[in-house]
Homo-oligomer: A and B are copies of this chain.
Amino acid sequence: MAATGSLAEALVCPRCGETYSIGEVHQLCECGSPLLVRYDLEKAKDTLNRNSFHGRGANLWRYRELLPVQDDRNIVTLGEGYTPLLPLERAGKKSGIPHLYLKDEGIIPTGTFKARGAAVGVSRAKELGIRRLAMPTNGNAGAAWSVYGARAGIEVTIVMPEDAPKITRNECAATGAKLYLVRGLISDCGKIVGAGVKAHGWFDASTLKEPYRIEGKKTMGLEIAEQFRWQLPDVILYPTGGGVGIIGIWKALKELKEIGIVEGPLPRLVAVQAEGCAPIVRAYQEGKKESVFFENSKTVAFGINVPKALGDFLVLQAIAETGGCAKAVSDEQILAALGELAREEGAFVCPEGAAIYAAAKALREEGWIREQDKVVLLNTGAGIKYPDTLNVSVPYLEKDAAL
User: A residues within 8 Å of B by Cβ?
Assistant: 54-55, 58-59, 76-79, 82-86, 90, 104, 106-111, 146-153, 157, 159, 162, 166-167, 169-171, 173-176, 179-185, 188, 191-192, 195-196, 199-200, 338-339, 342-348, 382-385, 387, 390, 392, 394-403
Contact = CB atoms under 8 A, between A and B. Distances in A.
A228 to B, nearest CB: 14
Contact of A383 (B171, B195, B399, B402): B171
A346 to B, nearest CB: 3
A78 B86 contact: yes
Nearest to A184: B399
10 contacts: A78-B104, A159-B397, A159-B403, A166-B387, A170-B387, A175-B346, A180-B394, A192-B397, A192-B399, A196-B403
Contacts of A159: 397, 403
Nearest to A168: B384
B171 A348 contact: yes
Nearest to A193: B403
Q: Copy number in this complex? A: 2
Contacts of A400: 188
A180 B150 contact: no
Nearest to A180: B397
Given A83-B79, A196-B402, A403-B196, A167 B387 contact: yes
A396 B181 contact: yes
Nearest to A393: B173
